A and B are shown apart, each in its own frame.
Chain A
């Protein structure tokens, strides 16, 4: 973000693709077309860290499973190296453990590989703008993980509970509504929807509600 104009929703985001399948990278690049500028590609953890540090992209499109570690490992090492970039996780896995793991490591969104080209371009733009991207599945995971009745005493009220509004937004996303439709349904602007989703993302990343990790590992199946 250093040499990019801030808040550049109109500028084409600079993207690094990290995935160990070359065919998949080629396919994504073809589907995205001119909507992004692909400045680098990497096939494993070490390569990814090097390429990201060298190119400093706006968004890293990151596969959850990589040879030599996983997506979360890439995020941790890039953050430790002090590189300022944003991550969008991309996976076929859909296992709660993987999804929650990569989000907790710092990814700003999670989409499945079956996503269409325009949807992916939209998600990348959103992440580049600092917003969060939730798939319906991720929204379901969050609702499940933060589901009300907990016998464990809540330590940090603000971080450990979702507000009623956030819950409503997530529920609509889980029902397959796009941000625009969520806004229309709740009579709020798209920007407000984004704010709610970002707040949920923050809670998901920072809450030390310790069921979260256990919940994810207990729940092996999607």
Chain B
């Protein structure tokens, strides 16, 4: 399939007309460019054709190399800046060529008329190019390719060139005096038009900006609605279905709360390899499997190494154990503290507790496995329990100072 006829935004020299045509016709851009130049040499038809294409053919909607949006346009932008001199040179060369040819052919009645016309032409080209850039940066949803100031400078230069050209044109008719009058008259007209149309244009621009904001907002709303539908609404449905099972309802609600929190307060640059995230993930897993709420508070953070890995494993066992025995006494409290030379984790449940001197067999196993794990890695585990007041597991691991 042949690509639609649009003006190219990448790899262009002046306005992307030649590149766009070339892509459309499936030939090399330089062939088209040469064609335009040759046509321009025959009484300026190429120039007129180019201007017509510029005015009538829309700018490409999306950059062709769009897959990774953030990177590609930026690269193209840099590319564009690097070759900014190119278009100017091209413009200049074409202008000079055309002036010479027109003069030789004598279409415009001699030297006097040709130069001003070209100046006007260049001014118009500059203005159009500014408009193009503005539209292009909008299409790409990047920060303006050219800063506001540069854009205004270019508009000023364009208008200046047009006025100057027009003045010079007048000067060929009635001398310098008339030319000055002409320039002044031209300026007056420009200022007048600006005053008349300015407010309207500004209002238009504001409307446009408001419309864009509204569009962005509605996109965000759609994203939010999609998220709420996939998560919260699903969970609410599940909760209604399992209304007879309070523990399951609690588990569902807490899991959803956790997911929603994660989504709302998405950590900026949270590191999955950090002790904090690892412990929180383990707690979430225990919460889901054993349907008991866990409150996790972590002070400090650092990357997980071998020792902290062992501490995490021991913490997991302690949390599983606490979750199993934490009855109605409230949530299991998990507190971790990372200091420069030591890490400590405290897991406390409000379950029935036990008499340490009369440890039930299954608890003994857990106890030994937690203590064994900690000791092998060079740490300590201490288990305190009081009948009727719950149990607290204290894990400490010496660390090498960072």
Contacts and interface: CB of A to CB of B under 8 A. Distances in A.
Most A CB contacts (10 A, CB to CB) among B268, B297, B333, B335 go to B297
A147 interface: yes
A137 B295 contact: yes
B298 interface: yes
A87 B340 CA distance: 36
Given A144-B300, A221-B270, A176 B335 contact: yes
A68 to B, nearest CB: 20
Most A C-beta atoms less than 10 A away, residue of B267, B268, B332, B335: B335
Given A144-B300, A175-B392, A136 B265 contact: no
Nearest to B348: A176
B261 A136 contact: no
A206 B265 CA distance: 27
Interface residues of A, number: 20
Interface in B45-59: none
B261 to A, nearest CB: 7
Nearest to B392: A175
A174 B267 contact: no
Given A136-B333, A176-B348, A220-B265, A143 B295 contact: no
Contact of B297 (A136, A149, A220): A136
Contact of A140 (B265, B266, B268, B297): B297
Interface in A133-160: 136-137, 139-140, 143-144, 147, 149
Contacts of B268: 218, 220
B22 to A, nearest CB: 50
Contacts of B348: 175-177
Interface in A180-222: 218, 220-222
B392 A140 contact: no
A175 B335 contact: yes
A152 to B, nearest CB: 17
Interface in B323-339: 330-333, 335, 337
Given A140-B298, A143-B299, A171 B265 contact: no
A94 B265 CA distance: 10
B265 A221 contact: yes
B346 interface: yes
Nearest to A218: B268
A137 B295 CA distance: 8
A95 interface: yes
A116 interface: yes
Contacts of B333: 136, 175-176
Contact of B267 (A149, A175, A221): A221
Interface in B282-302: 295, 297-300
A214 B300 CA distance: 15
A147 B300 contact: yes
B265 A95 contact: yes
A175 B333 CA distance: 6
Contacts of A144: 299-300
Given A116-B330, A136-B335, A143-B337, A174 B297 contact: yes
Contacts of A143: 299, 337
Interface string B155-187: 000000000000000000000000000000000
Contacts of A171: 335, 337
Nearest to A181: B389
B383 to A, nearest CB: 14
Interface string B253-273: 000000001100111101000
A218 B301 CA distance: 14
A152 B252 CA distance: 44
Contacts of A140: 297-299, 335
B130 to A, nearest CB: 40
Interface in A75-94: 94
A222 B261 CA distance: 9
The 10 closest A-B pairs by CB, nearest first: A176-B333, A140-B297, A221-B267, A175-B335, A175-B346, A143-B299, A144-B299, A174-B335, A176-B348, A221-B265
Interface of B: 261-262, 265-268, 270, 295, 297-300, 330-333, 335, 337, 340, 346, 348, 392
Given A136-B333, A175-B392, 12 more contacts: A94-B261, A95-B265, A140-B335, A143-B299, A147-B299, A149-B340, A174-B335, A176-B331, A220-B265, A220-B266, A220-B267, A221-B261
20 contacts: A95-B265, A116-B330, A136-B297, A136-B335, A137-B295, A140-B297, A143-B299, A143-B337, A144-B300, A147-B299, A171-B337, A175-B333, A175-B392, A176-B295, A176-B335, A177-B348, A220-B265, A221-B265, A221-B266, A221-B270
